C-alpha cells in the first residue's frame, strides 16, 4: 500500500468515525459522564469498532462506488 492510498484510507476512516463518535456522545454522553474514563473508552470501542468494520466503512465504500459509477458515461 503506497502513501497516497494510506492517506485516502485514513480520510475514509475519519469521515466515518468522526460523525459516529459525535452522534454516540450526543446520545449517551450524559450517561457515560459518570463512568470512569477506562470504562467509557471500553464501551466506546466495543460499540464503534464493529460499527466501523461492519457498517460504516462498507457503507462508505458502497456510496463511493455508486458515485464513481454514476460519473461515468
Q: Is the pLDDT of residue 53 over 70?
A: yes
Q: 13-27 b/e with 16+ CB inside 10 Å = b? A: eeebbeebeeebeee
Neighbours of 4 (CB within 10 A): 8
Q: CA-to-CA distance for 35 and 7, rounded, in angstroms?
A: 35
DSSP assignment of 9-48 equals HHHHHHHHHHHHHHHHHHHHHHHHTTS-HHHHHHHHHHHH
Q: Is the pLDDT of residue 19 over 80?
A: yes
Mean pLDDT within 45-71: 93
**pLDDT tens track for 20-41:** 999 999 999 999 999 999 999 9
Q: Is the pLDDT of residue 65 over 70?
A: yes
Amino acid at each position: 500500500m503506497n502513501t497516497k492510498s494510506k492517506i485516502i484510507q485514513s480520510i475514509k476512516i475519519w469521515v466515518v468515525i468522526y460523525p459516529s463518535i459525535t452522534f454516540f456522545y450526543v446520545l449517551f454522553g450524559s450517561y457515560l459522564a459518570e463512568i470512569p474514563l477506562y470504562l467509557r473508552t471500553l464501551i466506546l470501542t466495543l460499540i464503534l469498532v464493529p460499527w466501523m468494520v461492519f457498517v460504516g466503512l462498507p457503507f462508505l465504500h458502497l456510496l463511493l462506488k455508486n458515485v464513481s459509477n454514476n460519473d461515468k458515461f
